[in-house]
Structure 1
């Protein structure tokens, strides 16, 4: 079961399977991380308006010397911008200093206003606004998708959508394998992008005996196995996050795993479930996600 190098979107475009994530990367670190990643083979860069680092990402793109057309750039609509979709796109384009975005995601299906859930606005209407911008300005946004969207939320969206999301970016790691959601997306032609594939900072997965055993088998670090398991799942791409040059380079070593390897890793969820990014903070309940014992705040 060889890991893929890229995955085809429902738009026909190819998204590189492995990318650099920039969530929680500190100020004055992101630009250099993006530059180093691109100079060492990465071609998929992920950011978001909510991360507050789009300007640094844009600077890193230019500093790398890699032509813009060779880079697959992803950013996200902020929760406070659900009623201002066209303006939010223009803000990201300007802040990133780029003529277009390869993939624009709705960060959460959870409109917020003044730091609280905005129950006056239906998030599916936000999607319709994103569809309208996508259709009107294909030169500015090449594909649209969602993030943090469960089956319970995807089903009503797909009943009304005129554009099927190209991607659903969700938390995926062996303690949160989400096979049902991945299979549902696959059945609808929606590519999945895995965030937090290592589990968290100082993740217990890095010292999990199953992960360590498979890492030893391939003579790589546990992090490489945690990144590789997602890249070996059909229709799944994965984001590795670091600002340390040596780790950025080391992470870009995706291993071809066996079906038995993947099965062993997927079963970690049964005994050690964990969710890093709980959706409850949004004020929109659990957004259709099942509770997981031992989750992080």
Structure 2
């Protein structure tokens, strides 16, 4: 691997690479080819979901890559519409992916009112059964996470949320830190003006691109990133954000967005 990717600990023996390959809206042959390329470039964290409709293609790419299963961290997610069918859903994901377990299983969105705790209890049972090594949520606020912890004694290991210069919340991040929940950020570049002079100046100072600045900003805040791309050069570019650091002043410039 060209880069040694740092990890975040989710539990005993479970290390989440802090840079992953996102696969939202990548389907069909593109999902297969992109995943193969990502693994070849050096990614070892693949993020998918039942609702993405690409688990079969990703599973084939994993098998054809030649990379040992033990070296790849796989995340998938349960759609809220499948509340009450958790076991069937994860078994279908495992079959599609061609693996006997995933490394992280997330509740993709909070299910209908009153259903979150039963779904979480089913997630804990799936972990106990060895179908997933760790469990978490996506798009949850602190109150919803506290409800799960209060009712089950188990706090989600991860909360995957939209995070970008245009959409970030320091208090939310502090709340997650207090609960020892690892934050993953998606849609990193959404609504971010990539031609903004402030971002352009930071990028030019480091000889990098504005998207790289945004991704590096997230990593400085210990937020796991899962950028997606179907282009090999962009995949490599996203991994190379480990090659530079932002100054405190530059971080504050982005923080103040």
Q: Report the TM range for the smaller structure's normalisation.
A: over 0.9
Question: Which residue of structure 1 aligns with residue 228 of structure 2?
Answer: 241
1:215-261 per-position Cα deviation (integer Å, ceiling 9, x unaligned): 11110111111111111113x21111111122112211113222222
Aligned to 2:209: 221
- Residue in 1 that maps onto 2:252: 263
Looking at structure 2, the residues matched to 222 and 26 of structure 1 have their Cα atoms a distance apart, in angstroms, of 27
Cα separation, partners in 2 of 1:194 and 1:103, compared to 1, 3 Å = same
Is 1:10–1:190's contact at 8 Å kept on the other side of the alignment? Answer: no
> Paired residue for 2:158?
167
- Structure 2 residue ranges without an equivalent (≥5): none
Give per-residue Cα distances to partners, 1:17-54, cap 9 Å, x unaligned: 10100011243201111111111111111000000001
Q: What is the correspondence of 1:114-125 to structure 2 with a 5 Å cutoff? A: 122-125=115-118
User: Do 1:10 and 1:189's aligned partners in 2 also have CA atoms closer than 8 Å?
Assistant: no
**Change beyond 3 A, Cα 1:108–1:31:** same
Residues 204-215 of structure 1 mapped to structure 2, 5 A cutoff: 204-215=192-203
Instruction: Specify the SS of the correspondent of 1:29.
Output: helix
Aligned counterparts of 1:95 and 1:150: Cα–Cα separation in 2: 30
The number of residues matched between the two structures is 252
Supply the distance in 1 between the matched residues of 2:177 and 2:5 (Cα, whole angstroms): 15
Q: What SS class does the counterpart of residue 229 from structure 2 fall into?
A: coil
- Residue 102 of structure 2 corresponds to residue 109 of structure 1: no
Give the match for residue 137 of structure 2.
146
Which residue is equivalent to 2:122?
A: 129
State whether residues 11 and 166 of structure 1, in contact with CA within 8 Å, keep that contact through their aligned partners in structure 2.
no
Distance 1:127 1:44 in 2: 23
* Alignment partner, residue 251 of structure 1: 238
Query: Matched residue of 2:43: which SS?
Result: coil
- Cα RMSD for the two superposed structures: 1.7
- After TM superposition, give the deviation of residue 11 of structure 1 in Å: 4.1
Which consecutive residues of structure 1, in runs of 5 or more, have no partner in the other structure? 112-118, 269-297
Deviation string 1:75-107 (CA, Å, 9 cap, x unpaired) is 001121111111111010001111210000000
Alignment of 1:278-293 (within 5 A): none
Structure with the largest fraction of helix: 2
